[in-house]
A and B are shown apart, each in its own frame.
Chain A
Amino acid sequence: MLQPRSYPAFVAKALVLENEPFEAMVDDDNPWMEGFVLVTTVSLLAGVAAAIGGFLTALTLPAPESLYITLLQGGRQLAATAALSPAEVERLVSEIWTIVALFTGYAGGWSHLLPVLSLPGLAVVWWLFFSVLAFGVGRAMGSRASLNATFGAAALIVAPLIFFIFNIAPFAGPNLAPIGVWSLLIGYRAIQVSQELEWRQAAIATLIVYAAGFLLVAALVAAFGIGYAAGGFR
């Protein structure tokens, strides 16, 4: 049975690596669904906070047009002092501006709402990837745990996203390194509890999942870079 009222306690206890929430998720009558709801609830909350924060941050800054023109002027001045081609510097400023404006929502429009969709989307994809791979690696190490139980316990890897609540204040918010490392520690505990592995095997399984995730992200970034360099997205 779904128990959203317990989610704040689950998140708080998962952050300090206590076994209780992991055991509760494994013993749930529907760990997969409970996990899905927990992942979407926490990441949606984080996404809404990031969207509001992005909107407020944009309001604390000058209008985008003025900022862009000032940056272009600065670029030209820098080009003159550093003996660079002004056209090249302008092109560079313009390209950086396009990407930053899109991802931060600074240019306005619907891009402010991007985190409301992107954060839950990425969180669900990462949770599915982590759970399936952790289950596979765990099985290879001799675990007899079910995929359903792994989905339940692994859902708690999104607990550090709760720190995105601070993004609601302009210029505040955690960076990605602690979120990733904290999530790794929680993932380690999730694998240890759900797969009933000893610490060394659980640690190796967690590192394998993260290494696979890192390679996948690196491949996607490289593909994006090659596509962009070839003239796409312009």
Chain B
Amino acid sequence: MSSQTHVILPDRTDREEWLQRQHWLPDWQQMWDAAFLRLSDAFDPYERGEITVSMRQGIGMIFVLGLTAGLLPFLGNLWVSLRAGTAAPLAAAALSLTELASAYAGAPALNAAANTTSLLAGVEPRMPGFLAALLSSLGLWLNTPLGWLSSWIVYGAFVAALARLFGATNRLQTFFAATSFTAAPMLLTGLAPIPLLGPLAVVAAWLWAAIFYYQAVRYVTRLDPVRTLLCMALPPAVAALTATLFALFVALLLLIG
């Protein structure tokens, strides 16, 4: 029986509604449609004239796609840390700092940092090395979907608030449900560890995601292009300005001190 039916049979009501899988994940076809910017098909696949995808499905989708994107970096981290027999962050830091130090041989501070990190990575962990490598790589892998969820909720909260101030009347849940599909183009960032192709894939993913986010915000809020762009650009602009002012303030304090 299709999971989309409205007929509920007595023996089918054993699980609570909020626990069922379809309430935590949209169809793959919807994600595919979102990736190709077919927003109506992604948000309203049954053509009911409203956004039928839910914020809960958004959370599930971001988590699953985040885990998928993190798979290749996870394998890379696991490989590097297993070879070093230490925790993944230490092994990764030692590797990148050593590469950086050899690229900028004239920077003694960088050399000192690379030496220290390499020494740290060389010291035996307290648990068996392979276990430390495995557990820490798993932890870093989990951070990919958690990071995506963080960006979605923090950036989304600011954009939604600005959209409301600019005259949007949509519900918060609808906004978050629609923007969660940005995870679909971001799947490309999972190719980042591949030499040459990786950086290109990351740039393409961010551009694609920005275009999708713009269209999703417009679709949900019904704002005009200028207001939509302002909603999207103001939060990072204000954050950058605040960080710059703070850095200048600290620098001034150090100069006076």
A residues in contact (CB < 8 Å) with B: 9, 12-13, 15-18, 56-63, 66-67, 70-71, 73-74, 77-78, 80-82, 163, 166, 169-175, 177-178, 181-182, 184-185, 199, 203
Q: Given contacts A17-B55, A63-B123, A71-B120, could you give 5 more A-B pairs where the C-beta distance is less than 8 Å?
A: A60-B131, A63-B126, A169-B138, A177-B150, A178-B154
Contact, CB under 8 Å: A171 / B139: yes
Check B142 against A169 for contact (C-beta < 8 Å): yes
Interface check B109, CB cutoff 8 A = yes
| A61-B126 Cα distance, complex, nearest whole Å | 6
A62 to B85, CA, bound (A): 11
Given contacts A74-B119, A172-B143, contact A61 B90 (CB under 8 A): yes
A-B contacts, 13 listed (Cβ < 8 Å): A13-B18, A60-B87, A61-B87, A62-B126, A70-B123, A74-B112, A81-B109, A170-B132, A170-B136, A172-B146, A173-B146, A178-B154, A181-B157
Judging by beta carbons under 8 Å apart, are B172 and A185 in contact?
yes
Which residues in window 111-127 of B have CB below 8 A to A?
111-113, 115-116, 119-120, 123-127
CB of B192, distance to nearest CB on chain A (Å)? 18
Q: Looking at the complex, which one of B111, B119, B126, B140 makes contact with A172 (CB distance below 8 Å)?
A: B140
Does A169 lie within 8 Å of B59, measured CB to CB? no
A74: contacting residue among B113, B143, B173, CB under 8 A: B113
Query: Known contacts A73-B119, A172-B142, A178-B149: does B126 contact A78 (CB below 8 Å)?
Result: no
Cα(A173)–Cα(B88), bound, Å: 15
| CB–CB B126/A178 < 8 A | no
Contact of B120 with A169 in the complex, beta carbons under 8 Å: no
Q: Please name all residues of chain B whose beta carbon is closer than 8 Å to the beta carbon of A175 when the two chains form the complex.
A: 150
Contacts of A12 in B (CB 8 A): 18, 56
* A169 to B143 alpha-carbon distance, docked (Å): 10
| Alpha-carbon distance A173/B140, docked complex (angstroms) | 9
Contacts of A59 in B (CB 8 A): 125-127, 132
Interface of A is mostly: helix
Q: Which residues from A are CB-within-8-Å of B119?
A: 70, 73-74
Q: Does B210 contact A (CB under 8 A)?
A: no
Q: Are A171 and B126 in contact (CB under 8 A)?
A: no
Whether a CB of chain A sits under 8 angstroms from the CB of B224 is no
From A16, A18, A170, give the contact of B135 (CB < 8 A): A170
Given contacts A78-B113, A170-B135, A172-B138, contact A62 B124 (CB under 8 A): yes
Give chain B nearest CB distance to A232 CB in angstroms. 21
Which residues from A are CB-within-8-Å of B59?
Answer: 15-16
Q: B54 at the A/B interface (Cβ < 8 Å)?
A: yes
- CB <8 Å contact, B132 and A60: yes
* Cβ-closest 6 pairs across A and B: A74-B116, A172-B139, A62-B123, A178-B150, A81-B108, A171-B139
Distance A80 CA – B113 CA, assembled complex (angstroms): 12
Among A13, A59, A184, A199, residue most surrounded by chain B Cβ atoms (within 10 Å): A59
Tell me if B153 and A178 are in contact (CB < 8 A): yes
For A81, give the chain B residue with the smallest CB separation: B108
Interface residues of chain B, those whose CB is within 8 Å of chain A, are: 16, 18, 54-56, 59, 86-90, 108-109, 111-113, 115-116, 119-120, 123-127, 131-132, 135-136, 138-140, 142-143, 146, 149-150, 153-154, 157, 161, 164, 172-173, 176
- Given contacts A9-B16, A16-B55, whether A70 and B154 have CB atoms under 8 Å apart is no
Asked if residues A70 and B120 are in contact (CB atoms below 8 Å), the reply is yes
The answer to whether A78 and B120 touch across the interface, beta carbons within 8 angstroms, is no
The answer to whether A71 touches B116 (Cβ under 8 A) is yes
Report the minimum CB–CB distance from B154 to chain A (whole Å): 5
Taken together as a complex, chains A and B put the C-alpha atoms of A171 and B150 apart, in Å, by: 16
Task: Give the docked Cα–Cα distance between A185 and B164 (Å).
Answer: 14
Taken together as a complex, chains A and B put the C-alpha atoms of A39 and B153 apart, in Å, by: 22
Chain B residues lying within 8 Å of A63, measured Cβ to Cβ, are 123, 126
Tell me if A73 and B116 are in contact (CB < 8 A). yes
Please indicate the chain B residues that have their CB under 8 angstroms from the CB of A184 in the complex.
157
Residues of A within 8 A of B108 (CB): 81-82
Question: Does the CB pair A77–B115 fall under 8 Å?
Answer: yes
A145–chain B nearest beta-carbon distance, Å? 21
Closest Cβ–Cβ distance, residue A216 to chain B (whole Å): 21
Question: Measured between alpha carbons, how far is A172 from B164 in the docked complex, in Å?
Answer: 34
How far in angstroms is the closest Cβ of chain A from B226? 23
Question: Are B173 and A17 in contact, CB atoms less than 8 angstroms apart?
Answer: yes
